[in-house]
A and B are shown apart, each in its own frame.
Chain A
Amino acid sequence: NAGVTQTPKFQVLKTGQSMTLQCAQDMNHNSMYWYRQDPGMGLRLIYYSASEGTTDKGEVPNGYNVSRLNKREFSLRLESAAPSQTSVYFCASSVLQSSGANVLTFGAGSRLTVL
């Protein structure tokens, strides 16, 4: 039971290049998320998907696109990378507790540097 797996762990891009971050979960969770984490900013939501076939923008969606390929997989694409997208990216999935609260399980993170 791997939980949430994201790839790659590290990536260096040049400005203008494109890339896709992959994320898969094996916990049968409906909801999946992409966050970015920057020093002093905390985790900020980029996009989320409440269920297969649906996606919605979060707090900082500009410059990103997502695809919820199936229930397990949720990918994040940078079409034209910019230095401002240098960050650590976390994928997460969630399960609704009996209390009604969403509990997140995170992947190990992907460190992206854009030169």
Chain B
Amino acid sequence: RKEVEQDPGPFNVPEGATVAFNCTYSNSASQSFFWYRQDCRKEPKLLMSVYSSGNEDGRFTAQLNRASQYISLLIRDSKLSDSATYLCVVDNYNTDKLIFGTGTRLQVFP
């Protein structure tokens, strides 16, 4: 089993739609969780950290489910500019390294 797994997509959604991605992780001791965004041929950039209580940043909501070992990202009112690959990132508690998922590609169309 991969340490961090994501559905690669692509998710093709119209503008204004709500879309959700899940990411599962294997190390139950992991403490830090993030969503990074990567545009085509660009570097990854931090979108948001994921806190135990869940957190929201504008149209983006991130949640953590420790019991089932997954994190989620919800995007409301999708914009064309949201088209990108979303990377799930989890710390490896044993080695203090960050493990990246392979990413979920989102394409928002007019």
Of residues A44, A104, A107, which shows the largest number of chain B Cβ atoms within 10 Å of its Cβ?
A104
- The answer, yes or no, to whether A61 is at the interface (CB within 8 Å) is no
Chain B nearest CB from A106 CB (Å) reads 4
A102/B98 contact (C-beta < 8 A), A42-B87, A42-B103, A43-B87 known: yes
- A39 to B36 CA separation, bound complex (whole angstroms): 17
- A109 to B31 CA separation, bound complex (whole angstroms): 28
- The answer, yes or no, to whether B97 is at the interface (CB within 8 Å) is yes
Per-position 1/0 for B25-38, Cβ under 8 A of A: 00000011010100
- Is there an interface contact between B49 and A97, defined as CB atoms closer than 8 Å? yes
For chain A, the bracket of interface size reads 20 to 34
Residue of A nearest to B102 (CB): A42
User: Chain A at the B interface: mostly helix, strand, loop or mixed?
Assistant: strand
- The answer, yes or no, to whether A2 is at the interface (CB within 8 Å) is no
Tell me which residues across on chain A come within 8 A of B31, comparing CB atoms: 100-101
- A22 to B100 CA separation, bound complex (whole angstroms): 23
Tell me which residues across on chain B come within 8 A of A107, comparing CB atoms: 43
- The answer, yes or no, to whether A27 is at the interface (CB within 8 Å) is no
- Is there an interface contact between A106 and B45, defined as CB atoms closer than 8 Å? yes
- Is there an interface contact between B32 and A102, defined as CB atoms closer than 8 Å? yes
Per-position 1/0 for A99-115, Cβ under 8 A of B: 11111111111000000
A106/B97 contact (C-beta < 8 A), A99-B32, A101-B91 known: no
Measuring CB to CB, which residues of chain A are less than 8 angstroms from any residue of chain B?
A: 35, 40-45, 48, 58, 90, 97, 99-109
Given A90-B44, A99-B32, list of 18 further CB < 8 A pairs?
A41-B102, A42-B4, A42-B87, A42-B101, A42-B103, A43-B87, A43-B100, A45-B97, A45-B98, A58-B97, A97-B49, A99-B49, A99-B51, A103-B49, A104-B44, A104-B46, A104-B98, A108-B43
